[in-house]
Amino acid sequence: MSAILTVDDSISIRAAIKIALSGEGYAVTEAGNGAQGLEKASAGGFDLIITDLNMPVMDGLTMIRELRARPAGAGVPIIFLTTESDPDVKAQAKAAGATGWLTKPFEPEQLVRVVQKVLAK
């Protein structure tokens, strides 16, 4: 069973992600901002991280960058959530080390497809 960390300051989005993914048999852990996400991810053990970009305390971009610099963060797929209006942010996130993206708002099926796409089986 793959372990997934979802980092988002919106409780509803975290919930939506958790519902969609636990339904598919993934174990989902939540974090409310980039700093929390970084802390949890640094402990290791996640197969995939899904993160928002705009968050208090530490934003998603910073988190991705920090995480990629740490041993536990190397090689873990990171999907970031983006809105339609920010193609530049997408490029930035990719440069920071994100693996893929998902456009908000998204359907649960889309999320599952993207997760399956980046998770090594």
First to last CA, the chain: 10
Using the contact rule CB under 8 A, the part of the chain among 11-19, 27-35, 36-44, 83-91 near another protein is 83-91
Least gap, CB of 61 to another protein (angstroms): 14
Q: Does 110 bind another protein (CB under 8 A)?
A: no
Interface of this chain with another protein, residues 32 to 71, rule: CB under 8 A: 68
Q: Does 103 bind another protein (CB under 8 A)?
A: yes
Using the contact rule CB under 8 A, the part of the chain among 9-17, 26-34, 35-43, 89-97 near another protein is 89-97
Q: Does 4 bind another protein (CB under 8 A)?
A: no
Distance, in Å, from the CA atom of 24 to the CA atom of 41, rounded to the nearest integer, reads 21
The three-state secondary structure class of 53 is coil
Beta-carbon contacts of 62 under 8 Å, excluding residues fewer than 6 positions away, are: 34
Name residue, tokens 């530490």.
58
Q: Does 87 bind another protein (CB under 8 A)?
A: yes
Contact 104, 82 (CB under 8 A): yes
Tokens of 118: 């980046």
Query: Residue numbers of the site for another protein (CB under 8 A)?
Result: 68, 74-78, 82, 84-85, 87-88, 90-91, 94, 97-101, 103, 116-121
